[in-house]
Amino acid sequence: MRYALGFVLACAACGPEIRMTDDIDLTWDFEFTPKRFDGFLHTPYIKGAPVTVFVTAGEKDDLTGWSVYSTDSSVFELTGSALDEDKHAITAWGRAVGDGTAGLIVEDKKGKQVGVDEAEVLSPDRGELKSHGYLILRQEDQALEDELRIVAGGTATYLVNYYNGNRELHGNSVLTVDPPSAVVAQPRTSFLFENREWLTVTAAAAAGNENLTLRANGSAFATVPVVTVPESDMKNVSLLGLPEAGHKDGEWLVLLAQAYDASQRKIFGVDYTWTIDGVHSIAQGDLYRYEFKKGDYTQVTAERGPLSAQTTIQSDEGFVDSTNHIGCNAAGGAGGLAVFGLLGLVRRRRSTHMQR
């Protein structure tokens, strides 16, 4: 049975206005995005993904005694639910179990159906990998990588997108990788800001080629070549950044240091030494995050061996970061804008985290 897309709301004369959504955050902003009031589900889900469903009502509506259930637990299973403290919302925990479509039904305390939506579940038949740095720069068209070209011994992180045909599938926690012989591939998931699946790859110590077989719930959906290159292949470095025009004081921007070979192919997994207005940073990475301050011009240099790139920004504080930091995640590590308080700030007018 197919259910109409979009949540069916109880009319104002008959009962409270009900909304249903999930914990899939598709807004690429590394900020808390209000999910509970979107009023729709981000289906299709990828088979195997955990999904939290939220049912909300108005501030004066009490949902005590209400329930949420799935019409087909072999497709989408709800394993439990809880009423929020304010009694205006229900949180239900679910999982995309098998391919197909299931109805999600909301009933009030009298057993009356007050809303219905559908959860579609599909298995992926292909995937895409996108470099994290270019996503941070909001250059998604430049982020897609057909092969992973990584400096020997370096580590790089890529976003994994799942597709069934031309339809993108949403959710995470389903990725595994066949163990390669010379490189280390680690699936990771992020939850706090962006609900995403990631792949962090550490290249071999010596140049060579490997193929990674990516699996979702044990089924192969993509093969990705990894090319480990010697550091001597790096011929130039560029500093790429978000445009400063239109930004206000206090907004955070970023610079990405990107290495290239002689054919201008991108090389990932490179950490750089950074110099901010003549002060050398102890930390190394491929990102410099800074707080915009109009008119306060600062010279920034990224170096790796004999290669360097330099630019001028408007800022008086910032810190060195890495594209291998993906925020709060399930495979260890932390970073990105999610943990400003943990990383601390590098102020160019202070000696903290800096050395001359």
Per-residue pLDDT at 39: 61
Are residues 289 and 356 both part of a single domain? Answer: yes
**Contact by Cβ (8 Å): 226, 147:** yes
Residue 6 lies inside a defined structural domain of this protein: no
Q: What is the pLDDT of residues 11-21, one digit of tens each?
A: 434 566 788 99
pLDDT band of 23, cuts 50, 70, 90: confident
State yes or no: pLDDT of 32 exceeds 70.
no
Task: Average the pLDDT over each of 57-61, 84-88, 154-158 and give the range with the smallest value.
Answer: 57-61
Mean pLDDT of 80-99: 94
State yes or no: pLDDT of 86 exceeds 50.
yes
Where a domain ends, among 90, 122, 154?
A: 122
State yes or no: pLDDT of 7 exceeds 80.
no
Please give the residue that has the higher pLDDT: either 328 or 131. 131
pTM, entire model: 0.86
Residue 79 lies inside a defined structural domain of this protein: yes
Residue 14 lies inside a defined structural domain of this protein: no
Q: What is the pLDDT of residues 245-264, one digit of tens each?
A: 999 999 999 999 999 999 99
Are residues 224 and 198 both part of a single domain? Answer: yes
Between CA 8 and CA 55 the distance in angstroms is 12
Q: Is the peptide bond before 34 cis (omega within 30 degrees of 0)?
A: no
Residue 94 lies inside a defined structural domain of this protein: yes
Burial 68-77 (b: 16+ CB within 10 A, else e): bebbbeebbb
Please give the residue that has the higher pLDDT: either 2 or 57. 57
Are residues 298 and 150 both part of a single domain? Answer: yes
Per-residue pLDDT at 109: 93
Per-residue pLDDT at 89: 92
Residue 184 lies inside a defined structural domain of this protein: yes
Are residues 275 and 307 both part of a single domain? Answer: yes
CATH number at residue 55: 2.60.40.10
State yes or no: pLDDT of 212 exceeds 50.
yes
Are residues 223 and 158 both part of a single domain? Answer: yes
Per-residue pLDDT at 193: 53
Are residues 306 and 237 both part of a single domain? Answer: yes
Nearest alpha-carbon partner for 202 in 156, 265, 160? 156
Where a domain ends, among 53, 87, 122?
A: 122
Q: How far apart are the first and last CA of the chain?
A: 69
Task: Average the pLDDT over each of 206-215, 222-231, 329-338 and give the range with the smallest value.
Answer: 329-338
Where a domain ends, among 122, 149, 174?
A: 122
Percentage, residues of the chain above pLDDT 90: 73
Tell me how many domains the chain contains.
Answer: 2
Are residues 229 and 104 both part of a single domain? Answer: no
Q: What is the pLDDT of residues 135-188, one digit of tens each?
A: 999 999 999 999 999 999 999 999 999 999 999 999 999 999 998 889 999 999
Per-residue pLDDT at 128: 97
Are residues 336 and 222 both part of a single domain? Answer: yes
* Paired residues of 55 in beta bridges: 20, 90
Between CA 171 and CA 44 the distance in angstroms is 9
Q: What is the mean pLDDT of the chain?
A: 86
Are residues 172 and 205 both part of a single domain? Answer: yes
* Paired residues of 151 in beta bridges: 229
Task: State which residues form the domain around 311.
Answer: 123-356
Per-residue pLDDT at 15: 60
Are residues 286 and 231 both part of a single domain? Answer: yes
For residue 4, the SS3 value is coil
Between CA 175 and CA 198 the distance in angstroms is 9
Residue 36's identity, in one-letter code, is R
Nearest alpha-carbon partner for 34 in 171, 252, 193? 193
C-alpha torsion 335→340→342→346, nearest 10: 100
Cα angle, residue 161 at apex, residues 176 and 22 outer, rounded to 5° = 95
Strand 175-177 to strand 126-131: parallel, antiparallel, or no bridges (unpaired)? unpaired
State yes or no: pLDDT of 331 exceeds 70.
no
Q: Counting runs of H as helices and runs of E as strands, what totals does the chain give?
A: 3, 26
pLDDT band of 28, cuts 50, 70, 90: low
Mean pLDDT of 64-72: 96
Cα angle, residue 174 at apex, residues 56 and 162 outer, rounded to 5° = 85
Are residues 244 and 312 both part of a single domain? Answer: yes
Cα angle, residue 143 at apex, residues 302 and 194 outer, rounded to 5° = 95
Backbone angle region of 274, left / alpha / beta, with phi > 0 → left and psi within -120 to 50 → alpha: beta
Per-residue pLDDT at 38: 53
Mean pLDDT of 71-77: 98
Q: What is the pLDDT of residues 236-247, one digit of tens each?
A: 999 999 999 999
Between CA 26 and CA 169 the distance in angstroms is 11
In 10 A of CB 340, how many CB atoms? 12
Residue 342 lies inside a defined structural domain of this protein: yes
Are residues 136 and 209 both part of a single domain? Answer: yes
